[in-house]
């Protein structure tokens, strides 16, 4: 039996300098910050793609798996692997 893999492979783009998060939200994008090891890195996701992953339960609550999955974020040639630790609206 193969092991279950809940890794999320997702495309993102770099968050350009001097652009506020409100700009991305109005454009249907979802800004994010990756922290932990090394300098903080900012990226921007497609909101619809993240919403499908985050709200996979019929009641519309944030999925329990959202924070438990390994996220493999592809930004150009840079790949970041992380786990969601904080979600804010």
Q: Distance from CA of residue 68 to its chain's centroid?
A: 13
User: Residue 64 has what pLDDT?
Assistant: 67
User: Residue 62 has what pLDDT?
Assistant: 74
User: Who has greater pLDDT, 3 or 44?
Assistant: 44
User: Residue 89 has what pLDDT?
Assistant: 63
Q: What is the percent of the chain where pLDDT is above 70?
A: 87
Q: Is the pLDDT of residue 19 over 70?
A: yes
**Mean pLDDT calculated for residue range 47-73:** 80
């Amino acid at each position: 039996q193969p092991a279950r893999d809940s890794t999320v492979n997702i495309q993102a783009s770099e968050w350009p300098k001097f652009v506020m998060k409100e700009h991305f939200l109005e454009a249907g994008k979802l800004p994010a910050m990756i922290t932990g090891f090394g300098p903080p890195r900012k990226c921007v996701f497609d909101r619809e793609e993240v919403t499908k992953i985050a709200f996979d339960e019929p009641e519309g609550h944030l999925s329990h798996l959202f924070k438990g999955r390994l996220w493999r974020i592809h930004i150009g040639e840079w790949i970041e692997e992380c786990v969601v630790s904080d979600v804010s609206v």
